[in-house]
Structure 1
Amino acid sequence: MVQPRDVAPYLLALRSLYRSVPARRVVVVCDPKMSGSDVETIRRSVPFVETHKAESFRDAAFPVGGCWERLAAIAHISRDDYVVQLDADTVALRSLDEVARAAAEERAFVIGEEPGQHIVTCQQASATAAEYLSRVADRHIQAWAERELVNATEPGRFYVRGCAGFTGFPRNGMMLEHMREFSLAMRARLNERWGEWGTEQVASNFLAANLPGAFVLPFPAYATPDVTTPQTRFLHFIGSLRFESGAYARAARSVIAELAPH
């Protein structure tokens, strides 16, 4: 999902990724605020881009907004192609061998939050969330939704607490159906709270974790800028991090210089 303010950062994110993971297709789900000139700016840089209005991916089983249309688009596209969901606030600094291999091998990947993360059962994820909520007064929907995973999914299903901003989805003809089932089950548990910002990430994490060969990208090779090391190759400037410390501007200038024709 691309907004007008993110057109230039999105093009940087895309071109930095494209260096090591060339794409046959580029699909942009346009925020309702995107103008014709915004779309034309993207098209000048990526002539073969496919653009779609977010509204065209709305579904009665899903909340409206909050990036749900983006995830629905992924479910549609993954019927035919491997899909890498790429946020505009990301920058690939160097080659991303793990991502290129995942795409070639049709394996799902998720960017994680800490070292040693791995795919867990929904029962384990629910227990972790319940323990957290028993000691922390956190109203953010993610932990509350994760606590309900054990009640909203069948035994033998998996989950990972990753970030939806950079995720790989192998070809799968059933993803849309599974997405609908999951959303309706969670809505039955959480009622109107299932429409809050952050629920799409829970759904993305669940869907990716249950796809073939799913794994968490190594951390901090793939990380946020506050925990970088010399080995970091991919940065996700989540939230306000893009506008703090100047790290995004430095990374952007460095990559732009590398991409510029010599």
Structure 2
Amino acid sequence: MSFLPQRWRTKKDAARHADAIAGILDTPPIAPREDGLVLFSMIGTGVLLPYLVAVKSLWQELGRGRVALLDDGSLTAQDRAVLAHHCGDPQIVSIGSVDTGSFPRGGCWERFLTILDHRAGEYWIQLDSDTVTLGSVPEVMQAVTSNRSFTLLGGADAGKTPLPLEEFATSRYPRGPEDGHVQTRMESRLGQIDRSDWRYVRGCAGFAGFAAGGPGRGLAAAFLARMSALVGADGIAIWGTEQIASNFHIANEPQPVLLPYDRYLNYWAEKLSAKAAFVHFVGTHRYDNGAYTEASRSAICRLKARI
């Protein structure tokens, strides 16, 4: 396998993973509740089974909420039938129906904008399909109950509180603006934005909660306009900018909850601690060491125990 191109290895790994977690289809369906909470994900036909593990394992711990989906354009009629059975006939939004307006198209912007457009009366949780909930999530429950937005952190060094833009940029990029990856380009220039009241946190859009009644597109548009002036319109359109906007949005909402990284974490091919309650298996190391499959199977066993 190591001699195959990366895209071929990833495709084979994904197929093997799907075969290994097919047992998710034998677990009880979600019983959705119209209680003001929405579990929202953007998915396609290629991640149907991993998504079911992600949403079912989280819903099991929360015990509340309904499911909504953004179809990336690839869901088939059979996929929709499976989703209807396992997720309680979820709301499905077509990605082509999302009006991005002045925002970029693609790069998960449709996902972010759908949340901002619909959060007025409900608490929306953005959940990536490559996540697995392994234990109780009281911090998430408390955030939802108290109607405070939350985010998974980007790493253990992300800090415990959002920082003013200049302070964040100075502490993370002491040499000033840098080039390279879009996250580096944008974050290192945050200090150039003359808004002392704005804050930022290095979070991860793979798991984030948006409190009901929070700001819509206006705040994101204001931030995007400032960043566009610094990195250019082409820079704003690069994949990855949606996550930066999500981080900014949550950092500027009232008393955001930054989930403790020892329990809510991204997988970087390191051994998972027994404390891990929620794991985001990022693309770089998603299939390394069989950890994703092991975690998914563990979640499936927990779900089957409910039968």
Matches within 5 A, 1:205-244: 205-225=247-267, 226=270, 228-244=272-288
Q: Which sections of structure 2, spanning at least 5 residues, go unmatched? A: 1-41
- The farther-off stretch of 92-101 and 24-33 is 24-33
Residue 299 of structure 2 is aligned to residue 255 of structure 1? yes
Distance 2:176 2:48 in 1: 37
8 A Cα contact 2:57 2:132, kept in partner = yes
Give the secondary-structure state (helix, strand or coil) at the position aligned to 1:19. helix
8 A Cα contact 1:62 1:68, kept in partner = yes
8 A Cα contact 1:220 1:228, kept in partner = no
Report the aligned-residue RMSD: 1.9
What's the CA shift string for 1:98-136, capped at 9, x where partnerless?
Answer: 0000000011111111055321111122223433667xx
Q: Which residue in the other structure is 1:94 paired with?
A: 135
What's the CA shift string for 1:162-184, capped at 9, x where partnerless?
Answer: 10000111013532211122222
* Runs of 4+ displaced beyond 4 Å: none
State how many pairs are aligned: 260
8 A Cα contact 1:106 1:212, kept in partner = no
Matches within 5 A, 1:1-262: 1-112=42-153, 113-114=155-156, 116-131=159-174, 139-152=180-193, 154-191=195-232, 192-225=234-267, 226=270, 228-260=272-304, 261-262=306-307
Using structure 2 for the length normalisation, give the TM-score.
Answer: 0.79
- The farther-off stretch of 196-205 and 57-66 is 57-66
Q: Which amino acid aligns with 1:24?
A: G
Distance 1:9 1:153, change over 3 A: farther
What's the CA shift string for 1:171-201, capped at 9, x where partnerless?
Answer: 1353221112222222222111110011000
- The farther-off stretch of 222-231 and 193-202 is 222-231
- Structure ID, larger Rg: 2
Give the secondary-structure state (helix, strand or coil) at the position aligned to 1:102. helix
Distance 1:240 1:41 in 2: 29
Distance 1:214 1:173, change over 3 A: closer
Using structure 1 for the length normalisation, give the TM-score.
Answer: 0.92
